[in-house]
Amino acid sequence: MSTSAEMRAQAGAQRDLEVAAKATILAEALPYIREFAGKTVVIKYGGHAMEDPELARSFADDVVLMRLVGMNPVVVHGGGPHITDLMRRLGKEPEFVDGLRVTDAETVDIVRMALVGKVNREVVGAINRVGPYAVGLSGEDAGLINVTQRDPRLGFVGDIAHINPTIVHGLIREELIPVVATIGVDADGQAYNVNADTVAGALAEAVGAEKLVYLTDVAGLYSDYPDPESLISDIDTAGLDELAAGGALSEGMIPKVRSCIEALRGGVGRAHILDGRRPHALLLEFFTREGIGTMITASQS
């Protein structure tokens, strides 16, 4: 056999192996597609996954694919860096108390501009470039996120009083993808800034989600961060309580963990904390046997 013929044969064999590998991946995904068809999944989107253009495209691909195989993805996003950037461009320096942004009347308008006018439109646009399913919402729409004031020192920073999921259910019935910016309103219609991690957990509970997923900038939960050997692949809410009580959680992870615990105790099936820096993190978690990140389940009583 000539050298060129050998090279063609080797290339053909390599293509056959690649095709076979793809077929294996698809076959592996099939039972998970069946399991999650018709189920609602709430995804908290943020961190590096939102900032990096390639990861943003990967996220949009994943969300649309989930919709196309019969799942009901609901996206919740914040946008702290975008708020800070817009504040500074408008000549206003951010102020924080106990890690929370002080949100006076001027700042809450900036927050609305950043989250609703910019970030939400960008997320919706990215998804709709892949498939025309995304619809942008704010917690102000149809009374979705109802809040009370947390602390007068913080101004218009809200704690969730009630989630009215009617508009989200309606969009899901129309096979659309709700994308929620985390602005809430009080009984007088005043807008408030609300923690996106908390909104994601409360919304997952309100819509009866099968899964609650947080895309973060770490690989998952650790018992001894940042030791990679201490990465926790699965844990229940009782173990999570112990982990929090032991001081093993970073400040940024605490709202996510609290929201996971409340959502699971409120009936959500499972919660996941995933590394959003990995391309197609959602597909790896949902449609492969190995999964990634940390899975959290409710403790058995």
Q: Give residue-wise pLDDT tens across range 96-141.
A: 888 789 999 999 999 999 999 999 999 999 999 999 999 999 999 9
What is the mean predicted confidence (pLDDT) over 18-35?
67
Same domain flag for 190 and 216: yes
Token pair for 174: 């129309």
Q: Give Cβ neighbours of residue 130 (< 8 Å, ≥ 6 apart).
A: 60, 61, 63, 64
Same domain flag for 275 and 242: yes
User: Which CATH number is 236's domain given?
Assistant: 3.40.1160.10
User: What's the pLDDT score for residue 127?
Assistant: 97
Q: Indicate the number of domains in the chain.
A: 2
Amino acid at 267: G
pLDDT in tens, 145-171: 999 999 999 999 999 999 999 999 999
Confidence band for 245, pLDDT divided at 50, 70 and 90:
confident
Same domain flag for 176 and 230: yes
User: What's the pLDDT score for residue 254?
Assistant: 85
What is the mean predicted confidence (pLDDT) over 200-224?
93
Token pair for 110: 């900036």
CB atoms within 10 A of CB 2: 7
Same domain flag for 203 and 171: yes
Going by the DSSP 8-state scheme, the letter that residue 113 receives in this structure is: I
Structural domain containing residue 76 = 37-297
Above pLDDT 90, what percent of the chain?
64
Identify the weakest region by mean pLDDT among 65-69, 153-157, 247-251, 270-274.
247-251
Identify which has the larger pLDDT, 290 or 269.
269
Same domain flag for 197 and 273: yes
Q: What is the Cα–Cα distance from 259 to 252, expressed in whole angstroms?
A: 12
Same domain flag for 13 and 56: no
Under 8 Å between Cβ of 144 and 180: yes
Token pair for 235: 């844990």
Confidence band for 16, pLDDT divided at 50, 70 and 90:
very low
